[in-house]
Amino acid sequence: MILNVIEMGEGRPLVMLHGLFGQARNFGALQRRLSATRRVIAFDMPNHGGSPHMPSMDYRSMAADVAESLAARGIAQADLMGHSMGGKAAMMLALTRPDLVARLLISDVAPVTYPPRWGELIDAMRAVPAGTARSGADALLTPAEPDAGVRAFILSNRKPDGSGWRSGLEGIAASMPAIMGWSQPAAAPFTGPALIVSGEHSQYIRPEDRPVIRESFPSARFVTVKGAGHWVHADQPEGFAAVMEGFFRA
């Protein structure tokens, strides 16, 4: 499956993969900054943004979609950054198609299974009637997600005319066990350069996850961005951009 893309700049390819309920356009400022010296490709993941809606999705299929989309753009190898769900897809691509990945940066996720989350919020999203104004949709989501910042992020997935969601909610809902989980591929470790970035206030990468990460990515180095939570690139855009520039320039 070919994924929708936002592409900027020229030079060595750098691919960015967003997390659950994100979109390629969320990387806008970061992509513009990096495209001064690089060809920067941000993909909408399946069931997100402008990419096709699918009845199910898992990390093997997402990695295959990224590989197919790179081939469609004539890219034989790229540097790769993925956040959260996109980070797991990036890890799967590096493990199953290491020829495609020169350097790997993973933002705030580990190759582990996480506890169930998002189910109540997804149910609330599915229950918002078509045509509901943004303020009304926000009110309907509040019981499931009290954090106004998270709701604003979710509401960025609404169609501009309020007629529904850009996201393929049915496919996402059906795939939540796979999205929160991790199925280790029977593949050799990825031996290329790898950087694992954590948000200071996030619990997505725990100390006990580091040995697990190094089993698949033996060259992995670890960096913590001060003042950031799980959405590292949004919480500390300057710090995250500086980390990306330093790693992908090295």
Residues 30 and 133 in one domain: no
Q: Which of 170, 200, 201, 245 is catalytic?
A: 170
Collect all residues with Cβ–Cβ distance below 8 Å to 182 and sequence separation of at least 6: 59, 88, 111, 112, 113
Q: Degrees (nearest 5) of the Cα angle 114, 117, 120? A: 165
Q: Residue holding tokens 């993941």?
A: 45
Residues 106 and 199 in one domain: yes
- Judge whether 174 lies within some domain: no
Half-sphere exposure (CA, 13 Å, Cβ side) for 188? 6
Residues 71 and 146 in one domain: no
pLDDT, position 149: 93
- Judge whether 217 lies within some domain: yes
- How many Cβ atoms sit within 10 Å of the Cβ of residue 104? 26
Residues 61 and 142 in one domain: no
Q: Please report, in tens digits, the pLDDT of each residue of the chain (250 residues total).
A: 999 999 999 999 999 999 999 999 999 999 999 999 999 999 999 999 999 999 999 999 999 999 999 999 999 999 999 999 999 999 999 999 999 999 999 999 999 999 998 999 999 999 999 999 999 999 999 999 999 999 999 999 999 888 999 999 999 999 999 999 999 999 999 999 999 999 999 999 999 999 999 999 999 999 999 999 999 999 999 999 999 999 998 5
Question: How far is the C-alpha of 122 from the C-alpha of 174, rounded, in Å?
Answer: 11
Residues 106 and 35 in one domain: yes
Residues 29 and 99 in one domain: yes
Residues 18 and 103 in one domain: yes
- Judge whether 239 lies within some domain: yes
Residues 152 and 220 in one domain: no
Contact assessment for residue 96 and residue 164, using Cβ atoms and an 8 Å cutoff: no
Is position 7 annotated as part of the catalytic site?
Answer: no
Q: Which of 51, 84, 175, 198 is catalytic?
A: 84
pLDDT tens digits, one per residue of 6-43 = 999 999 999 999 999 999 999 999 999 999 999 999 99
For 126, the token pair is 């599915």
Residues 17 and 99 in one domain: yes
Residues 107 and 125 in one domain: no
- Judge whether 144 lies within some domain: yes
Residues 74 and 192 in one domain: yes
Question: How far is the C-alpha of 159 from the C-alpha of 125, rounded, in Å?
Answer: 13
Phi then psi for residue 10, to 5 deg, are -135, 155
Collect all residues with Cβ–Cβ distance below 8 Å to 243 and sequence separation of at least 6: 105, 195, 197, 223, 225
Residues 20 and 103 in one domain: yes
- Judge whether 58 lies within some domain: yes
pLDDT, position 15: 98
Is position 84 annotated as part of the catalytic site?
Answer: yes
Contact assessment for residue 5 and residue 69, using Cβ atoms and an 8 Å cutoff: yes
**What are the Cα distances from residue 204, in Å, to 75, 82, 83, 113, 178?**
31, 14, 11, 10, 17
For 226, the token pair is 């001060």
- Judge whether 173 lies within some domain: no
Collect all residues with Cβ–Cβ distance below 8 Å to 75 and sequence separation of at least 6: 13, 15, 41, 100
DSSP-derived letter for residue 111 is S
**Which domain, by its residues, includes 228?**
5-111+182-249
Q: Residue holding tokens 């469609």?
A: 72
- Judge whether 175 lies within some domain: no
CATH code for the domain of 196: 3.40.50.1820
pLDDT, position 162: 86
- Total structural domains within the chain: 2
Q: Which of 18, 48, 230, 233 is catalytic?
A: 230
pLDDT, position 250: 59
Is position 120 annotated as part of the catalytic site?
Answer: no
Question: How far is the C-alpha of 61 from the C-alpha of 45, rounded, in Å?
Answer: 11
- Which of 166, 195, 229 marks a domain boundary? 166
The total number of residues written for the chain in this structure: 250
